[in-house]
């Protein structure tokens, strides 16, 4: 998702703080292992989508939650 909205490098100067730190942070974020919470959220997202589609995409949050 981050790469979708990434515009480009802000500054090419390595001696300035910020862009280099931001690039390092982005690299670390893209290569981290998903946490248990992230994994659970992904499973729930899949189930919620399934329930929503099976019910003609008209269920709201409350009905979808009750269906799960």
Buried b (16+ CB within 10 A) or exposed e, 53-68: eeeeeebeeeebeeee
**Residues 28 and 3 both lie in one domain:** yes
Considering the domain architecture, whether residues 42 and 62 belong to the same structural domain is answered as yes
39 — pLDDT class (breaks 50, 70, 90): very high
Task: Say whether both 48 and 20 belong to one domain.
Answer: no
Residues 41 and 58 placed together within one structural domain of the fold: yes
Whether the full predicted model's pTM is greater than 0.85, yes or no, is no
Say if residue 54 is in the same domain as residue 68.
yes
Find the domain containing 16 and state its range.
1-32
Instruction: Tally the domains of the chain.
Output: 2
pLDDT of residue 41: 95
Residues 43, 17 share a domain: no
Q: Are residues 48 and 68 in the same domain?
A: yes
């Amino acid at each position: 998702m981050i790469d979708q909205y990434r515009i480009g490098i802000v500054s090419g100067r390595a001696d300035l703080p910020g862009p280099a730190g931001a690039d390092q942070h982005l690299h670390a974020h893209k290569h981290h292992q998903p946490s248990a919470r992230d994994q659970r959220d992904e499973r729930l997202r899949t189930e919620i989508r399934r329930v929503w589609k099976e019910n003609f995409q008209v269920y709201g949050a409350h009905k979808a939650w009750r269906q799960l």
